Structure 1
């Protein structure tokens, strides 16, 4: 290969290399305190206890990433950018709440914020700073042996009002629509996004409920269906497992 050909190959390859490494967005992060350093069960996503303990309590409140609730359940790698103090991997945190800080994209639980440091001394320093410069990127959520589940929200009232939360949405997927099968009309009827990750309807079908939901991810938009997703005698607070695993 001649000198000119080698030079041309380098010119062609460099943009690809730069693009593949340019995956993080710079921002700032702070933390919130709780008695046990976990999340809060009253977060804006409506997850309840799941939102407090998922990912061992490595959870976050966000503002612009909240996206009117569509961002609930998204996972992000967050790492601070003070070389003497910061771990190379940072923390993988799940969005479970809405919160605005001082020009921050993340308000991390104390348990998640502690993962930013590379030693106990550095972690103490970062907590003393209160707000730190970070870089972040969306990453796939990973749940060991966890299929998708539907939780009947505590605000539901059998049989006239049904609200649900979809949990363990793995991969880099967002739930953008949920529909229930209306047998008497032979059609799918949409649920309303009540708030956060909570979907509801004031006239749920009688009998066991077939459900489908729209997933937005790396493969684009697709519909997935769960037959008999919720039994006819559903109960408030109950969790119903499916055989569906997203990735």
Structure 2
């Protein structure tokens, strides 16, 4: 018996979902989603990605925690189109969410912010969706879009100038995953790898002096590539400050 090519490709995408989801973004994957409550319906300021306040409000607070899609923090910053599958209550297009946290539920792939969960619904149907608590959904990877924004580097508050540097990269556009970050060591004339501390926070002990050049390894549907960020942070960098790289993915 022949096996239709479309069905075979869908199966292949499902089998390779975790390492190569961005290659399969033409197909929706069935799953379940729930939500976590907050007084202001925004995201979690202590989310496991390390985004802080950015993780609460980015994408008009359409944010989510994920479990299988977490991938040890590599999944941070990825965008997904999520639409629910409850008859008569769900909007046709659903919403696009940004992964800013880790979260597990009752066989769920997404724990949505309260605001995002409500936006899955048709007008006047949000209350019905909230009454379910957990709903069937389907999702697919989509490019993140941040018109007018370059990649930003935030120096984390725990950094200690000049002996310890921890950074997080914000406004990661497109369908790329950040898999490695390196900083240029001028005295040795070589790239020195930074450690993934947790989520999408990268750190280094005794960082180079002077304005720092970084390179970021990203992977996506067109393979892997390195993106160079010249003078990503100045020689007098300060903890808590966000620096514009003038680079876009």
Q: Normalising by structure 1, what TM-score?
A: 0.91
Partner-residue secondary structure (3-state), 1:116? coil
CA distance in 2, matches of 1:110, 1:46: 20
2:50 to 39, 46, 49: 46
1:163 to 142, 166, 180: 166
TM superposition shift of 1:231:
0.4
What residue is the counterpart of 2:201 in the other structure? 198
Any gaps of 5 or more consecutive residues in structure 1?
Answer: 1-10
Give CA deviations for 1:82-118 in whole Å, capped at 9, x if unaligned. 1310000111000000011000000000010011100
CA distance in 1, matches of 2:9, 2:67: 27
2:243 to 217, 240, 243: 240
What residue is the counterpart of 2:115 in the other structure? 111
What residue is the counterpart of 1:141 in the other structure? 144
TM superposition shift of 1:119:
1.6
What residue is the counterpart of 1:61 in the other structure? 65
CA distance in 2, matches of 1:157, 1:41: 22
Supply the RMSD in Å over aligned alpha carbons.
1.7
Partner-residue secondary structure (3-state), 2:130? helix
After TM superposition, what 4+ stretches of structure 1 lie above 6 angstroms from structure 2?
none
Give CA deviations for 1:153-188 in whole Å, capped at 9, x if unaligned. 111111100000011110100110000000111100
8 A contact 2:156–2:166 mirrored in 1: yes
Q: Normalising by structure 2, what TM-score?
A: 0.90
TM superposition shift of 1:136:
0.5
CA distance in 2, matches of 1:243, 1:216: 20
Partner-residue secondary structure (3-state), 1:66? helix
